Amino acid sequence: MYYVDLLISGVAFGCLYAMATMGLTLVYGLLRILHIAHAALFTLGAFVGVWVFNASGSLIVGLIVAILAAVVMGCLIYRLIYESILSQPPYVPLLASLGVLIFLQDGFRIVFGEEGLTVRHNPFYMANFTIGAFSINVIYIVMAGGALISMAVLAFFANYSRHGIAWRATVSRPLLAANFGVNVIQVRYAAFAAGSALAAIAGVLVALMNNLVEPHSGELISYKGLAIIVLGGLGNMQGAFIASLVLGIAESFGIGLAGRYVDRDAIAAVALIATLMIFPNGIGRART
């Protein structure tokens, strides 16, 4: 039962990581930028979602506004920061991204306060789903379900719609895709929008689970996100999803069995090193 519990929490978090970091994979695939400021969109979504939920009393409204806020901010980061430095060496956008992350985190501190926000009427408080001796936090089910549904929608779009196929073509060869009428700029905005929306949903879910969102909540996924996209094979969506699950489960068991000696991010680092020793290009095939 203990191991089942660890597995459940690992899978729930793996799904959450996948949803939260998909934006990193999408952006890396298109632009070769390590978009670490993505973590701030997770936090922004959580803050806006909780704030609107508390004010309006509707979680759905909160979620929608959170998604909108994150999408707008994600697209702004592309337009105002990345677009002008795309031709620079990769460390330039990375440093810019890090700067944006710090800037936004301090912005949250000023706007929402150091102690963060709590959810006033949390529907998942003490909500658990029990079958016999077995019980799961409802929020875990929501986290895993939300992630799987949104990933499935994204995968369906990417594989079965014309626009999704054009998007993948752009990842593969952006110049040539443009010659077939694919608007590469629109594809970039779409990637930032989709990734930011997913991060916002993940942020709201974590805020509901902890009943707390803090200015630095995004640190949960910032550095781990980088590990996930490397593990997944830089820019590969399926690879990133598998890597997220592996990492979620590794963390859960790692903390459960050796939590007195290692912390969460150390497990991510160990998983990264171990996987790269076995699969030097990551779990999925790296796009070059």
Residues that bind another protein (CB under 8 A): 1-2, 5-6, 8-10, 12-13, 102, 106, 109, 114-115, 118, 122, 124-128, 130, 135, 137-140, 162, 165-166, 168-169, 171-173, 175-184, 206, 209-212, 214, 216-217, 219-220, 251-256, 259-260, 263-264, 287
Shortest distance (Å) from residue 92 CB to another protein? 19
Shortest distance (Å) from residue 168 CB to another protein? 6
Shortest distance (Å) from residue 188 CB to another protein? 13
DSSP state of 286: P
Pick between residue 71 and residue 227 the one whose CB is nearest to another protein.
Answer: 227
Pick between residue 260 and residue 277 the one whose CB is nearest to another protein.
Answer: 260
DSSP string for 75-116: HHIIIIIIGGGTTS-THHHHHHHHHHHHHHHHHHHHHH-TT-
DSSP string for 200-258: HHHHHHHHHHHT-B-TTTTHHHHHHHHHHHHHTTTT-HHHHHHHHHHHHHHHHHHHHHH
Pick between residue 79 and residue 287 the one whose CB is nearest to another protein.
Answer: 287
283 in Cβ contact with 233 (< 8 Å):
yes
Planar angle of CA 273, 279, 280, nearest 5 degrees = 75
Pick between residue 194 and residue 209 the one whose CB is nearest to another protein.
Answer: 209
Shortest distance (Å) from residue 118 CB to another protein? 5
